[in-house]
Amino acid sequence: MNEPKTIDQIDDQAALRLMLDIQLRAVSAVGDALGSIAKAAQALARALSNGHRLIYVGAGSSGLIAIQDGAELPGTFGIDPQRIVFLTAGGIDAVHNLIGGVEDDTETAKREIEALGPLAGDIVIALSASGSTPYTVAAAKAAKASGAVIIGIANKAPSPLLEMADIAIAALSGPEAVEGSTRMAAGTAQKCVLGLLSTLANTRLGHVYQGLMVNVRADNAKLKLRAEAIVARVAGVNPIDAKPSLAACEQDVKAAILLASGAASVDAARSLIALEKGQLKNALQRLKS
């Protein structure tokens, strides 16, 4: 029986098709973990709503994927950057030069966790394609001992990371196009899991309304225009009229929506948001009642 040909043994289009099929299979595998992802999103939403931290832990490609997910949260959903922590093997300043040996450094992992102080109530999202990366597993164990809730994401099961995690997410992405590299199938699955998890958590926190990112941090020209469009659409006003509301609310989109919808003042708008714990839908209903 002939062995299947690998990407270096076939023409360009066939190689690309094979790699694409592997990516699609990896994303499809995430579907089997939706229940665990939902549970993780609920835990993350609770932690963030109570002022706790989100700590990402990973090594190599997994660390890079974690940084990408977390780095997008402040701008997209308005999460305070000071509440997001990244621990990567070798340090975040060295992500441009991924040295494999640092993945085995368990002592540094423990020290980095200890340096964060008590972790009770915090969430740790730990990623490892194999589920056995020494740095990642050691950091997760130390964080758990310090009181953190551990969300473990791995592409192999059973594995040490999934076995010790409070919430285990197994994204069984299967063989890679390049054996031994996890930057494609496993990486694609991890990216998908993190995107689903963090987006659902922020949705439950009220940072998404009618499919719009109503907690966006509008800190550049493009996002200021987007914020104006969001306020206009939700409040049912002209975009030109949305701009003064945003200015009065210092670019706080939720408050600006309430102000444009009839709130008596900026303070009244902000009080409604606080009263409803950030849930714009409930604040609008209270305003109109």
Instruction: Please identify which of the residues 3, 72, 112, 114 carries the catalytic annotation.
Output: 72
Mean of pLDDT values over 96-116? 88
The CA-based dihedral angle spanning residues 21, 27, 28, 29, taken in that order and rounded to the nearest 10 degrees: 110
What value does the mean pLDDT of the chain take? Answer: 95
Indicate the class that CATH gives domain 208-288: mainly alpha
Question: 149 pLDDT exceeds 90?
Answer: yes
Q: What is the pLDDT of residue 216?
A: 95
* Residue ranges with strand state E in 76-202: 84-88, 123-128, 149-154, 167-170
Indicate the pTM of the whole model.
0.94
Q: What band does 1 get if pLDDT is binned at 50, 70 and 90?
A: low
pLDDT of residue 137 exceeding 80: yes
- Give the pLDDT band (50/70/90) at residue 100: low
Torsion over CA: 231, 234, 237, 239 (sign): positive
Other CB atoms within a 10 A radius of the CB of residue 146 amount to 16
Residue type, 238: N
pLDDT at 93 over 80: no
Tens digits of residue pLDDT in 225-278 = 999 999 999 999 998 889 999 999 999 999 999 999 999 999 999 999 999 999
Q: Among 285, 238, 239, which residue's Cα sits nearest to residue 258?
A: 285
C-alpha angle 64-66-70 in degrees, rounded to nearest 5: 120
- d(Cα 229, Cα 170) in Å, to the nearest integer? 39
180 pLDDT band (50/70/90 cuts)?
confident
CA-based max dimension of the chain: 77
Fold of the domain spanning 7-204: Rossmann fold (3.40.50)
Residue 45: what pLDDT? 98
Interhelix angle for 34-49 vs 185-204, to 10°?
50
Residue 130: predicted pLDDT: 96
pLDDT over threshold 90, residue 142: yes
Show me where the domains of the chain are located.
Answer: 7-204, 208-288
Q: What is the pLDDT of residue 239?
A: 85
Q: State the catalytic residue, choosing from 103, 112, 176, 228.
A: 103
Question: Is 72 part of the annotated catalytic residue set?
Answer: yes
Q: Would the pLDDT of 4 be above 90?
A: no
